[in-house]
Structure 1
Amino acid sequence: MLTISNNLKSVSHRFLAVSAALSTQILLFNSFALNPAFSQIVPDNSLPISSQVTRDENLHTIEGGTTAGGNLFHSFQDFSVPTGAEAFFNNATTVENILTRVTGGNISNIDGLIRANGTANLFLLNPNGLIFGPNARLDIGGSFFGSTANSIMFENGLEFSATTPEAQPLLSVNVPLGLQFNQNPEAIRVEGPGHGFTSVDALFTPVDRRAANTGLQVKADRTLALIGGHIDLEGGIVTAEGGRVELGAVAEGSVSLSPFEAGGFALDYSSVQTFRDINLSQQATADTSGVGSGSIQIAGRQVTLTDGSIALIQSQGRDAGGEISVTASTLLAVNGTNPDGSIPSRFESNTVATAQGGDITVSTRQLVFRDGGQILSRTFSTGDAGKITVHASDFLELSGEAPLNPLVTSSIVGLALSEGNAGDLEVSTRHLRLLNGGLIGSPTFFGSGNSGNITVNVADLIEIRGAALIGLTSSSINSASASSGNAGNITVNTARLVVADGAFISSSTLASGNAGSTTIDASESVEVTGVNVVDGVRLSQIAAAGAIVPEASRQLLGLPPFPSGDSGNVTINTPRLTVSDRARVGVSNEGTGIAGNLQIQANRIELQDRGQLTAATASGEGGNTNLQVEGSLQLRRASQITAEAGGSGNGGNLTVSADTIALLEGSTISANAFEGQGGNIEIATRGLFLSPDSSITASSKLGIDGIVTVTQPEIDTSSALVQLSSNPIDPATQIVSACAIADENTFVVTGNGGLPPDPTGVLRGQDVWIDTRLPRFIESSSAVETHPSEEEDHSFAEAVRSTIEPQPLIEATGWHRQEDGTVELVAVPSRSSIDRFLPSNCPPHHNPSDDSSSFELRGERLPTVP
């Protein structure tokens, strides 16, 4: 027991010693992280020609190193730059690339200045992590690469490794080709005060960058790349004016480098096996605005922008903008605004000059924007805005407004604010949700620029529901003209579409520009239902419209009292369309322009509870409505289909083709006008059913009424003809051999004709169908004694004679009382009356005059009369 106790005591002492050592290391690490003044730059002497560091107070001058071609290699055990300090790479100006690795076990903490001569690119490689503090600055002529990769790769399989720093034949090295990540590299963090951008509003003015804060920045047209494990920008700012910013969070794999002739590098992540997360928070910024074609590429597992953080390209010259490219293997999340609510978190591309704005391309599995998160492409000049392309393989949701600014909603928007055109928008996913004011839109304001076209491809379901809880924005897919420019077209392809609770899909005009067209192809169903639950006024709708806006909005946007542009068309193709609870599908124009046309092709259309299909104008020509329904068209509970015109315009024409049409419970189909001529209504259906309180009208209050025409489809009578056999048949198999009452016989008729109109009728000549190919077995005669001739078919005669004696039905002509008081109906039939009902093949009736017996037919026995 004592031995065990001593052993435990010994183990305990060793454990305490190890714990103390670990605690000391942790404290030293924390002190190092919190107070970079303790950091230093220490060479590791692993290169053929070692690096040399000379310190003069806060200036660390770095010389020496190994040169191979245009590359200069440095290797350090530790590399950190304290606050207020400077690390100066005193390289020859002929050096193209300065490649620096850190082989020790410490993080590199940079909170001072890193400087180099000439235009050399600087690579800083530390697998243990990189932290850039709020005072970190770069003063280099080339591009900067900060990475926690294991090694820098060159051709012929050579590596400059920070984890295995054994000597390599570096003299054969030329241009670096990429970065190699083995497993779980450490993070890169950039700290800062946030961008400090200002904006009069979040929509109609560009970002003012003049008073913006600065952070890590390279010269114009160069690349600033941070490639590591997790990438965190906590108020951090990375800038490359007209150049390129690369943020890549890589866990395992390789990233290739491709140099540009004009300077800078592009990175390719196609060989990365596993990504890590990227977070931009506290107004963090990736900015490549400038006169050149700046680009931003962000690649990670989960990419998050919060607190008004921005990835920004603002084209300020003649060169077309580059691209914002975002790849998130699992999730892209954008939420919130800066503290005053003026700038939401977003990916943003603007042009303020003659150049075209940069495109924005997003690829992820799930995309979720909430509380005002945005993707925004705008033009404030003659240059066109960039295109927006978003692909979320599983799920895409835009929901809600910014808490501090109700006018900012979660959205994907292309906007024209001058002479240039807005860019097109293309969105694809499996499931799309636009909720509480979330929208996909492309409007044009203030100039002649056109808004962009919107294409939405959704494999499964689109849900567009509700409106912003505080603001006035409804959830929508919309394209609008509030200027002389035209609105773009909207194309939606999906399996199922639901527009509910005041949401809408619309291409509209508010001024002199024309609205675009809206086309929806839904392979399963389209449902439009309800009104906004907050105000009870805004209807759910799919529309192309010319609309009047409230006075306050007209003053703000400089809009005319009435729009003069024309409405576009609405086309819907789906097996089932349901419009209910005051919702509307249609085209309209409240101004002086004409309404577009409404075209719907479906297997079934249901309008319920004041659901509407409309084509209407206030004063222009009414739009036409064409409904092609393979199955049923149902209108219930005051639902409407209208093609109407106010003022002097003529009512539109309404064409409906359906298998069956039912108008019930006060529903209407109308093509009316006020002063102009009423429109015409043409209905083709196999069945039209109207309740007494429903109607179909084509009238004009002051002009000429239209015409209502209801037709049934042509019937192909040839389809009812029966092809008769050309082969002779045996008559004995076609004629009933007995006519006895109450026997279970079968009577079969082949062909048409040959029967009286009813069972009690007399067989007349015009009723008889005669097949002249059949032999004439029987000669009919009015005489009862007529018998088949000897020459007729013997087997047929035998069959007839073997039948039971028939009992013909004869009307009672009298009655008498039996001895027991029973009344019995009797009849003494005449010979002619019997013969009239006997078919010619039945045996002759017995003649009672041939013997002395009496003949009496008894009818049904009646109950006894008291």
Structure 2
Amino acid sequence: MKTISSRGLAAVIALSHPILWFRFFPAIPSLAQILPDDTLPLPSQVTVEDNIYKIEGGTAAGNNLFHSFERFSVPTGAEAFFNNTDTVENILTRVTGRHISNIDGLLRANGTANLFLLNPNGIVFGENARLDIGGSFLASTAESLVFESNSEFSATAPDATPLLSVNVPMGLQFNDRAGEIQVRGRGHRLTASDPFFSQIFRNDGVFGLQVRPGRTLALVGGDVRLNGATLATESGRIELGGVGEGFVRFIVPSSTVNRPWRLIYDGVSRFRDVHLTQGSALDVRGRGVGSMQLVADEILLNHGSIALLQNQGQQTFGNLQVRAAESLTLIGTTSDGMVPTGFRQETVGAGNTGDLEISTQRLTSREGAAITSQTWGAGNAGEIDIQVSESIELIGFSSINPIARSLVTSLSFGSGSTGDITVAARNLSMIDGGSIGTATFFETGSAGNIFVTVTETIEAIGVEPMNITPSFIVSVSNSMGDAGDVTLNTSRAIVREGGRLASFTVGAGNGGRLVLNATEFVEVSGTVPGSINPSLIDAGANRVDEVLGEAFGIPPTPSGLPGSLEIHTPQLIVKDGGLVTVRNDGVGGAGSLQIDAGVILLDEGGGITASTQSGEGGNLTLRVDESLQLWGGSQITAEAGGTGNGGNLTISTDTISLLEGSSIDANAFEGRGGNIEIDTRGLFVSPDSHITASSQLGIDGLVTINEPEIDTSSALVQLSSDPIDPTTQIVSVCGIARDNSFTITGNGGLPPDPTRVLRGQDIWIDMRLSEIRELSFPVETNSREEEKNSHDPEPIVEATGWHRREDGTVELVNTRSRLRGDRLFPSNCVPFHSESRDRSIVESRAKP
């Protein structure tokens, strides 16, 4: 047995010849792996026996034991044994030199003491690194541990150490030069028989860093990088933190017996990254209460790396919290395609899982990576809460196993129910099978609700091509439990190339309610490439493929009731085979479909339908402020198969255009045809389009088209309210000097004489020219000079009657005139002063 101190080792090195040193002290390099310094009042002492580094001494303060080393590494196969007394609660260890700590052996301590390892230069755990301590373990590249009154146990300024505290540390202080923490391994040994329809099992025990049940395993960098590594605890807590600068606060349990520590990062001003690669695992399971937290700037998981919380008992597990200031990226699966990269909460017993909480600026999941919460027993799955300030992208599937798609999902395979899923982001894209969903299988558990709030655009585009599984947001019942409700709030919703937004049932449970609110528009367009399967927004009770039904015990015909569908948007576009529908493929009636929109446009085979296989047709209500347009063979239908009656279809809009072979139908097969009621100001139907409410074998339904009532008072003309003398207005011969008015009263108008009846007048009159000839007689006229000096206007003599002359010509005369001087004046006009007179005789003969 050899004992080494920092002063003794320095003397040996100084007094020995290098050749003799290597010859007589061959173990010195090994001994130098753990080298105490002399910065403490009572320095640490290291004794080496075989490959065991026994660490004793140090400075005690209350229940705390302080150790300080110039260098601290544990070579492969070696052991660093902290031989503390049982009264010690916290072993606080720092490295003051400039060397990284390489640990590829065992760290051991007595009793239930917590072990803190502080090395700002960096810490590397090799494939053979192990822990055998009774308490929690925290490794950090912070510069100091902070106690009350801001006293510090500093690794960067060891000579300034004040009186060592008897209290537990309050937290970690980081400068901007924190080193990196690495953990290396051979990949986890977690297995599953299916990416989603199977529990996660351990294979051949645990390899890697593990603490006792109920304890905390925390790695707080600098960057934290796990490469094929496994961190594990039973019913305890795992913490990974990437910290660049700031203060990390400890939440210390009042009782340290089976109670994990928690870390709070609200004092951090700058974060660093956390990466889990090459099949790394964070594994918390057991019958107690487990929890996990990852906090960093960028968090990356790939190649089947997973953070797993599995509740095997009756208590409720804790939460899995992920906070990435910049981005969270999940990629791929394990090499066999059975364990997706990502985060999973699951319960296999009577206890509930905790919640799964994610906050970041950008979230990307691709190539089959997943975020899941599951129950396999009586316990309920927890909620999934995802808060993203920018974009969420769920893209594609595993090329190794296409069943593994990029998902956010909560599933029930037992009597327990799934939790709700809440998602908030600026943009949400689900591409080529990427999806968000809640579902039930096998037993009575119900599916949770889905709440999505996206300020800009929701996209569900394409399918996973091998199994034709769409990109979707969906809640579905595959068993006796009910599906959940789906509520989507966004500016724009786009469903293309087979994508789907839905809540439905394929089993005995009932479908849920789907509500889509879009402040700009909703577009449902296209079909699955190469097929007729449409892009869908639907709520229904649907049949499934026979093979799939046998695999999950789903009956061939659904017996649950379909849900309802509501869409509220200024503009709804359904085109190129896209479909908005409520339907029932079972024996019950269809659900209800209500759309409130400014404009609805259906084109190229787009459809809005409410249909049943054999039950009553659904109720379809369209309230459209401006126009409803159907083009290119599009359809609006409320139909019933079998003996069911056709559904009721109610449309209220300003105008309807039904063109190019389009139709509005409420039909039935054996039952009575449905009722169609349309309220519109304008209905335009092309000859090849139609509106029907018929039954092939039963009684036809009714089609009612209501035009708005016309307020005739709005067309009345406001006549003058001044008193008038009717006798002077019947055949007015008013002179040009009087005030006049011209009033239009519309076609027909007032009779020319109140003593005569009002006769109809043709709108069209014969406007052919008549032969008009004027016969003039000599008249007295003034000279041009006299005319120029005259101030009297020429009078107008108006004809009030006529008579036929002997030669057959007609002469117009004024029968009510009175003679004044040598002129004719109307009886009600002011006389003119001109001495001239004239007379006109008009001969009128119609041309043949």
CA–CA distance in structure 1, aligned partners of residues 826 and 596 of structure 2? 59
CA–CA distance in structure 2, aligned partners of residues 144 and 766 of structure 1? 113
| Alignment-derived partner of residue 173 in structure 1 | 166
| Alignment-derived partner of residue 79 in structure 2 | 86
Q: Is the 8 A contact 2:615 2:644 kept in 1?
A: yes
| Change beyond 3 A, Cα 1:290–1:856 | same
Are 2:91 and 1:98 equivalent residues in the alignment?
yes
CA–CA distance in structure 2, aligned partners of residues 475 and 427 of structure 1? 16
Q: Is the 8 A contact 2:85 2:110 kept in 1?
A: yes
CA–CA distance in structure 1, aligned partners of residues 39 and 733 of structure 2? 122
Q: Is the 8 A contact 2:56 2:83 kept in 1?
A: yes
CA–CA distance in structure 2, aligned partners of residues 355 and 371 of structure 1? 32
What are the equivalent positions in structure 2 for 1:432-447 lying under 5 Å apart? 432-447=428-443
| Alignment-derived partner of residue 477 in structure 1 | 473
| Alignment-derived partner of residue 240 in structure 2 | 247
CA offsets per residue over residues 132-189 of structure 1, 9 Å max, x none? 0010000000000000001001110101000011253434430110000011311100
Alpha-carbon shift at residue 341 of structure 1 (Å): 1.0
Alpha-carbon shift at residue 655 of structure 1 (Å): 0.8
Q: Is the 8 A contact 2:497 2:527 kept in 1?
A: yes
Alpha-carbon shift at residue 841 of structure 1 (Å): 5.6
Of 293, 301, 304, 1:305 maps to 301
Alpha-carbon shift at residue 678 of structure 1 (Å): 1.3
Alpha-carbon shift at residue 463 of structure 1 (Å): 1.1
Q: Is the 8 A contact 2:792 2:832 kept in 1?
A: no
Residue range with higher mean Cα deviation, 84-93 or 634-643: 634-643
Are 2:741 and 1:747 equivalent residues in the alignment?
yes
Of 321, 342, 346, 1:346 maps to 342
Of 477, 484, 489, 1:488 maps to 484
Of 662, 676, 688, 1:693 maps to 688
CA–CA distance in structure 2, aligned partners of residues 523 and 124 of structure 1? 54
Residue range with higher mean Cα deviation, 558-567 or 296-305: 558-567
Q: Is the 8 A contact 1:810 1:827 kept in 2?
A: no
| Alignment-derived partner of residue 658 in structure 1 | 653
Alpha-carbon shift at residue 757 of structure 1 (Å): 2.8
Of 184, 188, 192, 1:191 maps to 184
Are 2:114 and 1:141 equivalent residues in the alignment?
no
| Alignment-derived partner of residue 517 in structure 1 | 513
| Alignment-derived partner of residue 391 in structure 2 | 395
Amino acid at match of 2:540: A
Q: Is the 8 A contact 2:496 2:526 kept in 1?
A: yes
Q: Is the 8 A contact 1:46 1:167 kept in 2?
A: no
Residue range with higher mean Cα deviation, 716-725 or 436-445: 716-725
CA–CA distance in structure 2, aligned partners of residues 380 and 551 of structure 1? 24
Residue range with higher mean Cα deviation, 633-642 or 304-313: 633-642
Aligned length: 774
Q: Is the 8 A contact 1:811 1:827 kept in 2?
A: no
| Alignment-derived partner of residue 379 in structure 1 | 375
- Three-state SS of the structure 2 residue aligned to 1:409 is coil
What are the equivalent positions in structure 2 for 1:223-302 lying under 5 Å apart? 223-260=216-253, 261=255, 262-302=258-298
Of 462, 479, 483, 2:458 maps to 462
| Alignment-derived partner of residue 411 in structure 2 | 415
Alpha-carbon shift at residue 813 of structure 1 (Å): 11
Amino acid at match of 2:123: L
CA–CA distance in structure 1, aligned partners of residues 369 and 632 of structure 2? 41
Residue range with higher mean Cα deviation, 345-354 or 660-669: 660-669
Q: Is the 8 A contact 1:805 1:843 kept in 2?
A: no
Q: Is the 8 A contact 1:595 1:623 kept in 2?
A: yes
Alpha-carbon shift at residue 37 of structure 1 (Å): 6.1
Are 2:62 and 1:77 equivalent residues in the alignment?
no
Are 2:821 and 1:828 equivalent residues in the alignment?
no
CA offsets per residue over residues 571-616 of structure 1, 9 Å max, x none? 0111111111111112001111221100111111111111111110
Alpha-carbon shift at residue 211 of structure 1 (Å): 2.5
Alpha-carbon shift at residue 826 of structure 1 (Å): 8.5
| Alignment-derived partner of residue 14 in structure 1 | none
Alpha-carbon shift at residue 832 of structure 1 (Å): 6.2
Are 2:748 and 1:757 equivalent residues in the alignment?
yes
Of 589, 598, 601, 2:596 maps to 601
What are the equivalent positions in structure 2 for 1:454-853 lying under 5 Å apart? 454-533=450-529, 535-715=530-710, 747-749=741-743, 757=748, 762-764=752-754, 805-806=795-796, 828-831=811-814
Alpha-carbon shift at residue 561 of structure 1 (Å): 1.4
- Three-state SS of the structure 1 residue aligned to 2:127 is coil
TM-score by length of 1: 0.84
TM-score by length of 2: 0.86
Amino acid at match of 2:272: R
CA–CA distance in structure 1, aligned partners of residues 434 and 721 of structure 2? 73
| Change beyond 3 A, Cα 1:510–1:756 | closer
Alpha-carbon shift at residue 766 of structure 1 (Å): 8.9
CA–CA distance in structure 2, aligned partners of residues 834 and 480 of structure 1? 96
Alpha-carbon shift at residue 66 of structure 1 (Å): 0.6
CA RMSD, aligned part only? 3.4
CA–CA distance in structure 1, aligned partners of residues 842 and 203 of structure 2? 122
| Alignment-derived partner of residue 364 in structure 1 | 360
CA–CA distance in structure 1, aligned partners of residues 721 and 802 of structure 2? 46
CA–CA distance in structure 2, aligned partners of residues 809 and 296 of structure 1? 108
Residue range with higher mean Cα deviation, 167-176 or 699-708: 167-176
Q: Is the 8 A contact 1:107 1:126 kept in 2?
A: yes
| Change beyond 3 A, Cα 1:430–1:859 | farther
Unaligned runs of 5+ in 1: 1-35, 769-800, 816-824
Q: Is the 8 A contact 1:345 1:372 kept in 2?
A: yes
- Three-state SS of the structure 1 residue aligned to 2:548 is helix
Q: Is the 8 A contact 1:813 1:828 kept in 2?
A: yes
| Alignment-derived partner of residue 841 in structure 2 | 856
Amino acid at match of 1:591: G
Q: Is the 8 A contact 1:662 1:689 kept in 2?
A: yes
| Alignment-derived partner of residue 114 in structure 2 | 121
| Change beyond 3 A, Cα 1:403–1:855 | closer
Alpha-carbon shift at residue 531 of structure 1 (Å): 0.6
Alpha-carbon shift at residue 558 of structure 1 (Å): 1.8
| Change beyond 3 A, Cα 1:723–1:329 | farther
- Three-state SS of the structure 1 residue aligned to 2:547 is helix
Amino acid at match of 1:496: R
Unaligned runs of 5+ in 2: 1-28, 759-790, 819-824
